Amino acid sequence: MVIEITDQTFQETTRGEGLVIVEFWAPWCSLCKLLEPILEELSSEYDSQVSIAKINVESNQEVSERLGVKSLPALFIYKQGALVGQVNGFVPKSTLQEAIKPFIE
């Protein structure tokens, strides 16, 4: 399951155990809509190993500005609070799997 987070819950979410992928998105972003089913699939496949969250940049600008998000979708990968990877733009599922592979125990 992909969860919705906010500026206020971002830090708590990314500090969690395991791997956390955060998608920065906006309702008008067509590439974000294309990425949505891929993230749902990854969420199901890596259920206990990876958490997937999304944050709407229109209603939550603080974190996206602090991290310098310039284009959407933007995926930030965290492991126990540390930023360990980033993927920008729409990419196929296999690319995301390769990006998270080194961090899955």
Structural domains of the chain, with CATH? 2-103 (3.40.30.10)
pLDDT, residue 34, reads 97
Give residue 38's identity as a one-letter amino acid code.
Answer: I
Please write the tens of the pLDDT for every residue from 63-78: 999 999 999 999 999 9
pLDDT, residue 18, reads 87
Catalytic residues: 29, 32
Provide the 3-class DSSP secondary structure of residue 55.
Answer: strand
Q: Once rounded to an integer, what is the mean pLDDT over residues 35-59?
A: 95
Provide the 3-class DSSP secondary structure of residue 47.
Answer: coil
pLDDT, residue 47, reads 86
Provide the 3-class DSSP secondary structure of residue 62.
Answer: helix
Instruction: Look over the chain and give the mean of its residue pLDDT values, rounded to a whole number.
Output: 95
